[in-house]
Amino acid sequence: MVEPIQIEGLHFSYGKEEVLRGIDLHLKNGEVLGVLGPNGSGKSTLMSVICGIRKNWSGKISVMGDNLRDLSTKKLARIVSYIPQSFEPSFDLKVETIVSFGRNPHLKGLGNMTNEDYRIIEESMRLTEVYEFRDRPFSTLSGGEKQRVIIAKALAQEGKILLMDEFTTHLDPGHARRVGKIATDLVRAKGLSAIAIFHDINQAVEISDRLLFINNGRALASGKVWDIVTPEIISLVYGLKSRIMENPISGLPLVVFYD
């Protein structure tokens, strides 16, 4: 089975400033890879390179076995679905319209939607429990509801790879858990592979199969959760002292920071 994403020696600069300084990343089939790192470490940039937003990178990136450079914008969009950190349309669009954007890479000819497209849109909305809001303007929804709509859009895109950029960061714990659960359930159910950027290491631990730590544009460590969440690595990445405990409820590592 071909690795969904393979990155080797990725370099990227914003003008003169080098942000990614040789990143390696391997996304295994069917897994959720959590990406962690302090602010400015290059996490979001990494994501925007993979989904085709930023193009002046150097190195090797292959998506589903194909060189990223060889994939057209549309073709890439059929493989990779992106869930951004924030989504703010300038105009008042309905929930259903936004979900329908996800079908764009699949539209043929003059771009008219078929019944099949509508069916997929409806199913995506149901799966993320936003079907009842479909006619409401996006701006009137709560943070959690909005994120679910974005997930629905990504689902409608039917991409085999899901890229999630801090998608629970702005949510309160209740919504964060709910949205996180919906996302991971869908990934498992549909056999997708996902890269998810997290701000909170404990959230990352709950959801991810493997973790990748990034700092200063370099990948510092990657591996399974229990292998990699250690005080030494945390200190290296965040510059903070920590104690790792076992989460009494989930049995997963629980990180407690101290000065």
- Report how far apart, in Å, the C-alpha atoms of 195 and of each of 51, 61, 177 are: 11, 15, 17
If binding is defined by CB under 8 A, does position 13 make contact with other proteins? no
If binding is defined by CB under 8 A, does position 219 make contact with other proteins? no
> Whole-number minimum distance, CB 54 to other proteins, in Å?
9
- CA gap 70, 87 in Å, rounded: 28
> Whole-number minimum distance, CB 140 to other proteins, in Å?
9
If binding is defined by CB under 8 A, does position 232 make contact with other proteins? no
Size of the site for other proteins (CB under 8 A): 34
Listed ranges 75-83, 125-133, 173-181, 204-212: which one lies at the site for other proteins (CB under 8 A): 75-83
If binding is defined by CB under 8 A, does position 52 make contact with other proteins? yes
Residue whose CB is less far from other proteins, 91 or 258 = 91
The DSSP line for 4-43 is: SEEEEEEEEEETTEEEEEEEEEEE-TT-EEEEE--TTSSH
- CA gap 146, 180 in Å, rounded: 13
Q: Return the number of other C-beta atoms located less than 10 Å from residue 174's C-beta.
A: 9
> Whole-number minimum distance, CB 146 to other proteins, in Å?
12
Residue with tokens 């936003």: 130
Residue 87 structure tokens: 């989504």
Please list every residue from 81 through 120 that binds other proteins, using CB under 8 A.
Answer: 81-82, 84, 87-94, 97-98, 101-102, 104-105, 107, 110-111
If binding is defined by CB under 8 A, does position 131 make contact with other proteins? no
If binding is defined by CB under 8 A, does position 192 make contact with other proteins? no
Q: How many CA atoms lie within 13 A of 207 on its CB side?
A: 33
Sign of CA dihedral 191, 192, 195, 196: negative
Q: Which residues bind other proteins (CB under 8 A)?
A: 48, 51-53, 55-56, 73-74, 76-78, 80-82, 84, 87-94, 97-98, 101-102, 104-105, 107, 110-111, 153, 157
